[in-house]
Amino acid sequence: MDDHAQPESRGPLDATLLGPGFVREAGLSRLEVLDEIDSTNAELLRRAEADPDGWGDLSVLVADHQTAGRGRLHRHWESPVGVAVAVSVVLRPHNAAGRPLPTQSYSWFSPLAALALREALAETAGVEASVKWPNDVVVDGLKISGILAQLAPGAHGAPPAVVLGTGINVGQAQDELPVPTATSLAIATGREHRREDILAAYLAAFARRYRQFCAVDGDPDAPLAAGRGLWGQVEDATITLGKRVRVELPGGQTLVGRATGLDAHGALRVVEEDGTRHSVAAGDVVHLRPADGGYA
* pLDDT tens digits, one per residue of 23-54: 999 999 999 999 999 999 999 999 999 999 99
pLDDT tens figures, 125-137: 999 999 999 999 9
Spatial CA neighbour of 50 closest among 203, 161, 166, 167: 161
Residue type, 181: T
Q: Quick check: 102 pLDDT over 50?
A: yes
- Cα distances (Å, whole numbers) of residue 131 to 1, 5, 56, 135, 183: 25, 28, 28, 7, 14
Let me know: does 67 contact 36? Beta carbons within 8 Å. yes
0.75 cut: is pTM over it? yes
- Cα distances (Å, whole numbers) of residue 152 to 111, 160, 195, 249: 19, 6, 28, 24
- Provide the Cα torsion 167, 170, 171, 176; round to 10°: 40
Q: Do domains 15-234 and 240-287 have the same CATH topology?
A: no
- Cα distances (Å, whole numbers) of residue 246 to 112, 254, 271, 283: 24, 7, 11, 10
- Residue 5 binned pLDDT confidence (cut-offs 50, 70, 90): very low
Spatial CA neighbour of 7 closest among 182, 194, 180, 166: 194
pLDDT at residue 193 in the model = 96
> Hey, what CATH topology would domain 15-234 get?
BirA Bifunctional Protein; domain 2 (3.30.930)
Ramachandran angles phi, psi of 198, nearest 5°? -65, -45
Q: Quick check: 9 pLDDT over 90?
A: no
240-287 in CATH: which number? 2.30.30.100
- Cα distances (Å, whole numbers) of residue 170 to 85, 134, 234: 7, 21, 23
Domain positions in the chain? 15-234, 240-287
pLDDT at residue 265 in the model = 96
* Burial class of 76 by CB neighbour count within 10 A (0 to 12, 13 to 18, 19+): exposed
**Average predicted confidence (pLDDT) for the chain:** 90
Spatial CA neighbour of 177 closest among 143, 136, 127, 128: 143
